[in-house]
Structure 1
C-alpha cells in the first residue's frame, strides 16, 4: 500500500480536484483506492456527498475527527477501518475490479490542534505527546481492514498544523498541486524546507522516545508538482505561466510534464457531486485526457509500485 499526501499551503489551487480525480482514475484502472479528507473545509467529502447526507449519515460517527478525538481519550478506541465509506455514484462509474472509498472530514477538525495540546505540559512531556500525535496516523494505517488498498490519497489542509504533519509522517510521497503564480512558487520552496525540518525532527524524536514507539525512519519523497488552472495559447502555457513553472523546476523539485488547463467544468465549486470529472463521458476530451496523463505520470513516479498497477 502506498500512502500519498496531496498538499499545498495555498488554498484554491485545485488540491481537492486533483485528489478526487486522481483517486477515481486509479480506481478505474483496477486499483483499490482510499481517499482520506483531512481538510476541515470538507471539500473532498462534499465532492461525493451533499451536506444534508453528511449531516444525517456521517457527521456524528463516520468522520476522521472521531478518530482524532479518540487520540485524546474523548471516545473509546476507534480504528480508521470502521470509518470507511463507499461513494455509490462514483463506484458505479468504474470499470473493472477497482474501488474508490473515502474517510470523510468534519468542519470541527480545524480545532483539533488546540484540543490535542490541551492539558499537556511543556518540555519533555509535550515533546513526547507531539511525537505520538505526529506518528499516530502512520500507525493507524496499519489497520488490517486497510490492507486490501493499493493506494491511500490524503487531502491535506492548506497549512502546516499537526494534522498536516501527521499526514506527512504517514506518507511515502507528497504530491503538490499548484497554480503558476508568485505565491504558489514561493510556497513550494517554503513547504519543501518545512517538510525536511519536520522529518529530521521526527526521526530524531523517534530515537529519543524509542520506548514509546519502535523506531521506523520516515523519508517521504516528492512525487512532483502538478500545475493547475493553466491558460493556454496555441496549446502551450502562456508566457507568464511558463516562467513560474520554470522557476519551480529550478528549485530541483520534480514537475509533472502534464499540466491541467483552466476549466470551468473541472474547477468550479458547483459541479455535480458524486462522480469526478475524469469518470464523466460528457466532459471535454482534453480535460479528461490531461487527468489520465497525470495519473500515468504519477504511477511512473511511484515505481516499482506503479509497475504493479
Structure 2
C-alpha cells in the first residue's frame, strides 16, 4: 500500500501496533478519523489541517512567514525509539484536553516539509512518563498523590550514588534510561501533510521537580514511507514545546493537576527554555480563560534544517534572543 493510498482511508484502524523509528510498522491505515476535544474542537482542527489553514476554521490561508531555526534541546532520559503510529496519544490519561497542531517548514526556504515523521512524548498530569512508571514522578521521586507520607522515616541513610534522574535533573545530554515497563501513553508518531501540518490529540502536561511544563519532540526527514512504515532518513530536530505561565497556573487548580504536589519550576526558571518565544518552542495557546477544562488548542511553526542531524544527545548552546519572533507569530 502506498503512502497516498494510506492517506485516503477515512478511519483509524481499531488496533494500533507498536512501531519503531527506523521501521515504523504501519497499522493498516493512514488518516485518522477526527476525534474532538469534546467533539467538534479537534474535528475542526483536523479539517483545517487538510485544507492547509493556518488559523481557526473558515479563515483563508495567509502567506507563510520565514522563521529562524527552532531551538534544539537535549533529548532527555525518557525517549523511547519504539512508539505508536497515531495522532491520538491520550489512552487512559486524565487531564485537560490538548490539541497540538504543528507546521514543519524548511527554515531557509520557508517551504513546508511534507511526509516528515514527527514524534511527541510528555509526562501526565502528575509528572509520570509512560515506560518509566517505576521511576515515578519525572525527577525520580514517587508519583505525587497529595497525601502526606506515612510510616516512620528510614532508619538508615541512603547509600551509593544518587539516581541519575534525581532532583538535580538528568545527566548532561539527557542520559537516556532504559524503560521500566511497557506502558506507552502520551507518546506518538505521525506524518506531516502536504502543507507541513501534523496534529496530535493529547492532554495538557503536568510537571515534576526541576523542569517547567513541556512536551518533547523529534522530527525525522529524508526517509521513505513504505508498506512497512518509515525507513531511513535523519533526525533533523530534537526540541521541546513550552507553555506560558498563565496557562499552567490555570491548570494547577483543577484535578488531576491539583494532586501534583511536586515543586513546580516556572518557564522563566527553566534551564532549557532559552527565552526566545516561538523560536525557543513557546506554543501559541487558545482556550477559554474562564474554563480551561474545556480544552486547549496549541500551535507552532517549527523551522528545521532538513539536511542537519540533531539527535539531542548533547546540551545545545543557548541562542541569542535579539531577532527571534514572538510567540504570537507562530
Normalised by the size of structure 2, how large is the TM-score? 0.27
Normalised by the size of structure 1, how large is the TM-score? 0.28
